[in-house]
Amino acid sequence: MDSVSGVGVLDKAVHMLGALRREGSLGLADLQRATGLPRATAHRLAVALEEHGLVRRDGNGRFCLGFELIALGHAAAESFPIGELARPVLVALRDSTGESVQLFVREGDERRCVVSLQSPHGLRWIVPEGARLPLDAGSAGRVLLARSTSDWVESDWVESVEEREPGVASVSSAVRGRDGAVLAAVSVSGPIERLTRGPGKRFGRAVADAADTLAKTLAATA
Amino acid sequence: MDSVSGVGVLDKAVHMLGALRREGSLGLADLQRATGLPRATAHRLAVALEEHGLVRRDGNGRFCLGFELIALGHAAAESFPIGELARPVLVALRDSTGESVQLFVREGDERRCVVSLQSPHGLRWIVPEGARLPLDAGSAGRVLLARSTSDWVESDWVESVEEREPGVASVSSAVRGRDGAVLAAVSVSGPIERLTRGPGKRFGRAVADAADTLAKTLAATA
DNA sequence: CGCTCTCGTCTCACTTTCTGAGATAGTCTT
DNA sequence: AAGACTATCTCAGAAAGTGAGACGAGAGCG
């Protein structure tokens, strides 16, 4: 029942979608509790969203996220050229390292996982595509904090160990545009047991190369 | 510049997202043209959506679909149990047939593609996940039109040739719940050159078996 | 059988929010 | 430096959203 940030319909609608994302599926009363909205308002909103396919009802008549969101999600991913171009490069990186790899972009003072590929190992570290993570923790976060060319010239990659999540280590490298601005961060992450406490030593080169390949691909396309 | 169906902010917002999905990325003036909204209104809406991550700006400051939609899209797909359970079954079906396979569900008087797997062939028929198609054309459409157990007892599968799209044929079979209600349709589709004008002969059995397996999996889960 | 609880849905007077033409400010072009 | 674009902001007026409460359907119970 966390309070709604804004006051407009749109804020409420997004808040409701967020509640449904967290909780999976909710009856009207649950929706009411989860959003803090009055019954009538919650119902009206849910029905309005349903008409647009952003919300649907499951077999029991409970509200849950609608299929239109699947279509929009795909379109959103496709309309991000770096993400599309990165996929083959990231697949190669995952296959060569055997670990989960991600592509992050900066969004305000956070970072967003735009592409996520999972390690084939049984024990793996997964970051959901679309997830929003803090900028001030994790190797990818530090890479994205470097704004200009002058920063971080010392190394091609950055490593972090248990910085954001216990037991998880990662190595990241910047994808830079023509002008040296950091466009995105390529990241390899997994359990410390496999990555060790100095993951850069083993994977730094591969990650930096992947980031570089991606940067070149981008330059060639644009 | 098609007119907006509703009048509320929500209708306009969804309309705008639809415009961005179709057009990829738009400047404010283009957005204005695409949505038919006045400048100020389009701008205010776009900024509001941006604050929620449903819209973002690309490198040139133009508006496009935001990353939050990727996250919501994934959540929407995951919150649909049949879709999740179906994936492995559909993968097996695609591999055994070598053609594109889809899972459709009825949504109002249309059908929605919830899962879509592509054929490995160079020439392949693709249906985007999340796409909404008519119910009155295509084999999957006819399967979903059968409401009760009494309908369509004659055959386990339905075939269609160039019914919805020239050059494309398909075979579909119903996934039925405990009570015999049609929950979804499994479909194999591809170019006539490979599927022939009587695709059911070759693929009917496989499609029906896949649908049946899925139905059993569902029954076991629920 | 009738009572009660809960659930989803609808109504309607109230009022908050959204509206959008126009003004303003920043950015390339020429 | 004028012109032709952009994106962004303002504010009085108008329209859309609001939500307590009524309603009917259904489930559970004594």
Q: Residue B137 belongs to a domain with what CATH number?
A: 3.30.450.40
- Is position B215 within any domain? yes
A60: confidence class by pLDDT, cuts 50, 70, 90? confident
Chain A residue closest in CA terms to B56: A107
> Do residues A67 and A165 share a domain?
no
> Do residues A213 and A162 share a domain?
yes
- Is position A100 within any domain? yes
Q: What share of chain A is helix, strand, coil (3-state, %, to 5)?
A: 45, 25, 35
Please name which of A80, A83, A78 lies closest in space to residue A214, comparing C-alpha atoms: A83
> Do residues A113 and A17 share a domain?
no
Q: Residue A28 belongs to a domain with what CATH number?
A: 1.10.10.10
Whether the CB-CB separation of A67 and B114 falls below 8 Å is answered with: yes
Task: Tell me the nearest-neighbour CA distance from B177 into chain A, angstroms.
Answer: 11
CA atoms of B14 and A25, how far apart (whole Å): 22
Query: What pLDDT score does A154 carry?
Result: 62
Picking from B69, B75, B77, the nearest residue to A76 by CB comes out as B69
> Do residues B105 and B45 share a domain?
no
Judge whether residue A1 has pLDDT over 50: no
Mean pLDDT score across all residues of chain A = 90
> Do residues A167 and A102 share a domain?
yes
Token reading at B100: 């594109």
Per the listing, tokens 């002058």 go with A150
Q: Residue A118: CB partners within 8 Å, gap ≥ 6?
A: A94, A100, A124, A126
> Do residues A202 and A95 share a domain?
yes
Give φ, ψ of B135 to 5 degrees. -90, -20
- Is position A96 within any domain? yes
> Do residues A65 and A159 share a domain?
no
Picking from A45, A65, A74, the nearest residue to B79 by CB comes out as A65
List of chain B residues with pLDDT < 70: 1-6, 147-154, 222
CA angle B60/B61/B62 to nearest 5° reads 90
Query: What pLDDT score does A211 carry?
Result: 96
A5: confidence class by pLDDT, cuts 50, 70, 90? low
Protein-contacted positions of strand C (CB under 7 Å): 6-11, 16-23
Chain A residue closest in CA terms to B51: A11
Which residues make beta-bridge pairs with A106?
A111
> Do residues B68 and B84 share a domain?
no
Number of domains in chain A: 2
Mutate to test the interface with B, among A4, A7, A10, A175 (most CBs of B within 10 A): A10
Query: What pLDDT score does B151 carry?
Result: 53
Per the listing, tokens 């079979």 go with B173
- Is position A2 within any domain? no
Of A72, A88, A108, the position where a domain reaches its end is A72
Which residues of chain A does B80 touch, with a Cβ-Cβ cutoff of 8 Å? 64, 67
Task: Tell me the nearest-neighbour CA distance from A115 into chain B, angstroms.
Answer: 10
> Do residues A43 and A90 share a domain?
no
Of A72, A91, A123, the position where a domain reaches its end is A72
Please name which of B71, B39, B41 lies closest in space to residue B56, comparing C-alpha atoms: B71
Whether the CB-CB separation of A14 and B9 falls below 8 Å is answered with: no
Contact A71/B8, CB-based, under 8 Å?
no
Residues A88-117 have pLDDT tens digits of 999 999 999 999 999 999 998 899 999 999
Query: What pLDDT score does B11 carry?
Result: 94
CA atoms of B202 and B126, how far apart (whole Å): 20
More confident residue, A72 or A177: A72
Neighbours of B109 (CB within 10 A): 9
Neighbours of B204 (CB within 10 A): 20
Picking from B14, B20, B105, the nearest residue to A52 by CB comes out as B14
CA angle B59/B63/B68 to nearest 5° reads 95
Contact A69/B65, CB-based, under 8 Å?
no
Which residues make beta-bridge pairs with B190?
B169
Give φ, ψ of B69 to 5 degrees. -65, -30
> Do residues B29 and B90 share a domain?
no
Can you tell me the mean pLDDT for A186-213? 94
How distant is C1' of D20 from CA of B82, in Å? 39
> Do residues A91 and A192 share a domain?
yes
- Is position B3 within any domain? no
CA atoms of B42 and B48, how far apart (whole Å): 10
Find the chain A residues whose C-beta atoms sit closer than 8 A to any C-beta of B: 8-11, 13-14, 17, 20-21, 24-25, 45, 48-49, 52-54, 56, 64-77, 79-80, 105, 107, 112, 114, 128-132
> Do residues A122 and A167 share a domain?
yes
Of A41, A72, A103, the position where a domain reaches its end is A72
Which residues of chain B does A129 touch, with a Cβ-Cβ cutoff of 8 Å? 70-71, 74
- What's the DSSP call for residue A59? T
Can you tell me the mean pLDDT for A165-182? 90
Protein-contacted positions of strand D (CB under 7 Å): 5-10, 15-22
- Is position B2 within any domain? no
Please name which of B125, B86, B84, B108 lies closest in space to residue B207, comparing C-alpha atoms: B86
- Is position B216 within any domain? yes
Which residues of chain B does A130 touch, with a Cβ-Cβ cutoff of 8 Å? 67-74
Token reading at A90: 């990231």
- Is position A123 within any domain? yes
CA atoms of A109 and A141, how far apart (whole Å): 10
Q: Residue B168: CB partners within 8 Å, gap ≥ 6?
A: B125, B162, B189, B190, B191, B192
Whether the CB-CB separation of A155 and A174 falls below 8 Å is answered with: no
Whether the CB-CB separation of A144 and A152 falls below 8 Å is answered with: no
Residues B167-191 have pLDDT tens digits of 999 999 999 987 788 899 999 999 9
Picking from A13, A66, A69, the nearest residue to B69 by CB comes out as A69
Find the chain B residues whose C-beta atoms sit closer than 8 A to any C-beta of A: 8-11, 13-14, 17, 20-21, 24-25, 48-49, 52-54, 56, 64-77, 79-80, 105, 107, 112, 114, 128-132
Domain span holding position A201: 80-221
Residues A126-165 have pLDDT tens digits of 999 999 999 999 999 999 988 655 555 567 899 999 999 9
